[in-house]
C-alpha cells in the first residue's frame, strides 16, 4: 500500500432544512470522514468559526478519531452554513458567503509531506484567501492532485476550473459538470477526449447517476460499473462523496481500476440506503 499522506482541503458546514433539521456536511468533510472510517487517517484542512457550530465540528471529528491539526478557527467569520429550501419539491441551496472556510490561511497549515495526494473541489476556492492558501500548498509540496469539481452555481467560473485542471492527475465529475466545463464539444466522448488533449490528466471518472460510472484513462482505456437494480434508495445526499472516497482509497491501496470502481459503486450504494452522507459506525466501513 502507498504511504502517501492524504490531504483533504475544503469546506465543512451545516445544512439547515426548513423543518429545523441541521446536518453536518460539505463534500471534502464527507470524503475525509469516510477515509478516516477506512483507516486512512487523512489530514483535513478547513476553517470554522469561533462559535458553537465550530466547536461541534471539532468535537465530532475528535470523537471519530480525526486529526484536528488542519482545522483553523476564525475570530471574525462564522462556521459555514447552507440554507436549504424546497420549491415544487426540488431543493434549492443558499451557500452562505463569507464563511470561515472562505478565509483559510497558509500560515496556519501544519507540516505537509511532499509525498502526498491532495483532494479538493471548487466551492472552497470561491474566495481569493482560500485560493491563495491552496496555491501555496501546491507550490510548496507539489502533491499529486485529485479534483472533484463539485460545481455549485454561482460559486464557480470556467476560467478558474480550467486553471485547476492544469495541475490535476485524477478528475471526478458528473455528466452535467462535464458539459459545463467543456461546452465547445457536443457529446460525452468528445468532451472527455478534449480534456485529455488539453490537460495532463491520468484518469477521469464520470459519474452517471442510476447508470453508474465510467472511468477513462489517458491511454484510451475505459471501465464501467453499474449499481444493482435492487438498491433501495433512502437518500442520495453524499453518494458522490462516498464514491469519491473509495476512488482515493483505491489509489492509496494501489487497486486496479476495475476493482476500485466496483468497490466505489458498492459503497455509494450503501450510503444511499441510509439517511445522511456519513455514518458514525466503524463496522459500516469494514467491507471496503
Which residues, in sequence order, are bridge partners of residue 204? 171, 216
Report the pLDDT averaged over residues 182-211: 95
**pLDDT at 191 exceeding the cut of 80:** yes
Residue 174: closest CA among 206, 148, 142, 202? 206
pLDDT tens per residue across span 58-83: 999 999 999 999 999 999 999 999 99
Confidence of residue 40 (pLDDT cuts 50, 70, 90): very high
For the chain, what percent of residues have pLDDT higher than 70?
Answer: 99
Q: What is the pLDDT of residue 51?
A: 98
- How high is the pLDDT of residue 210? 83
State the Cα–Cα distance between residues 25 and 23, nearest whole angstrom. 6
Mean pLDDT of 90-108: 92
The pLDDT of residue 90 is: 67
CB-based contacts of 235, cutoff 8 Å, min separation 6: 272, 274, 275, 276
pLDDT at 233: 78
> Would you state the pLDDT for residue 232?
74
Q: How confident is the model at residue 39 (pLDDT cuts 50, 70, 90)?
A: very high
The sheet that has 90-95: what strands, in order across it? 22-25, 13-16, 80-87, 90-95
| Mean pLDDT computed over 175-197 | 97
211 φ/ψ angles, rounded to the nearest 5 degrees:
-80, -10
User: Could you give the domains of the chain?
Assistant: 5-285 (3.40.1190.20)
Return the C-alpha cell found at 249. 482509497
Helix (H, G, I), strand (E, B) or coil at 278: coil
pTM: 0.95
Q: Are 185 and 191 in contact (CB under 8 A)?
A: yes
Amino acid at each position: 500500500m502507498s504511504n502517501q499522506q492524504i490531504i483533504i482541503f475544503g469546506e465543512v458546514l451545516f445544512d439547515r432544512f426548513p423543518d429545523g433539521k441541521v446536518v453536518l456536511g460539505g463534500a471534502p468533510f464527507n470524503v475525509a470522514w469516510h477515509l478516516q472510517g477506512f483507516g486512512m487517517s487523512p489530514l483535513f484542512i478547513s476553517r470554522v468559526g469561533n462559535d458553537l457550530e465550530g466547536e461541534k465540528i471539532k468535537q465530532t471529528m475528535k470523537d471519530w478519531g480525526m486529526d484536528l491539526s488542519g482545522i483553523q478557527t476564525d475570530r471574525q467569520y462564522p462556521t459555514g452554513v447552507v440554507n436549504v429550501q424546497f420549491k415544487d419539491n426540488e431543493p434549492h441551496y443558499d451557500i452562505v458567503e463569507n464563511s470561515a472556510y472562505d478565509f483559510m490561511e497558509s500560515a496556519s497549515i501544519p507540516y505537509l509531506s511532499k509525498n502526498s495526494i491532495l483532494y479538493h473541489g471548487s466551492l472552497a476556492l470561491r474566495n481569493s484567501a482560500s485560493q491563495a492558501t491552496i496555491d501555496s500548498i501546491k507550490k510548496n509540496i507539489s502533491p499529486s492532485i485529485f479534483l472533484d469539481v463539485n460545481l455549485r452555481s454561482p460559486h464557480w467560473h470556467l476560467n478558474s476550473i480550467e486553471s485547476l485542471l492544469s495541475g490535476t492527475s485524477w478528475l471526478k465529475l458528473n455528466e452535467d459538470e462535464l458539459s459545463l466545463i467543456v461546452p465547445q464539444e457536443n457529446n460525452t466522448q468528445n468532451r472527455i477526449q478534449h480534456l485529455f488533449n488539453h490537460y495532463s490528466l491520468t484518469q477521469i471518472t464520470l459519474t452517471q447517476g442510476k447508470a453508474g460510472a465510467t472511468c477513462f484513462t489517458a491511454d484510451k482505456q475505459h471501465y464501467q460499473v453499474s449499481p444493482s437494480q435492487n438498491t433501495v434508495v433512502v437518500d442520495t445526499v453524499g453518494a458522490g462523496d462516498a464514491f469519491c472516497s473509495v476512488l482515493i482509497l483505491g489509489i492509496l491501496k494501489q487497486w486496479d481500476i476495475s476493482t476500485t470502481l466496483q468497490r466505489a459503486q458498492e459503497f455509494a450504494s450503501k450510503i444511499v440506503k441510509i439517511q445522511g452522507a456519513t455514518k458514525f459506525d466503524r463496522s459500516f466501513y469494514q467491507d471496503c
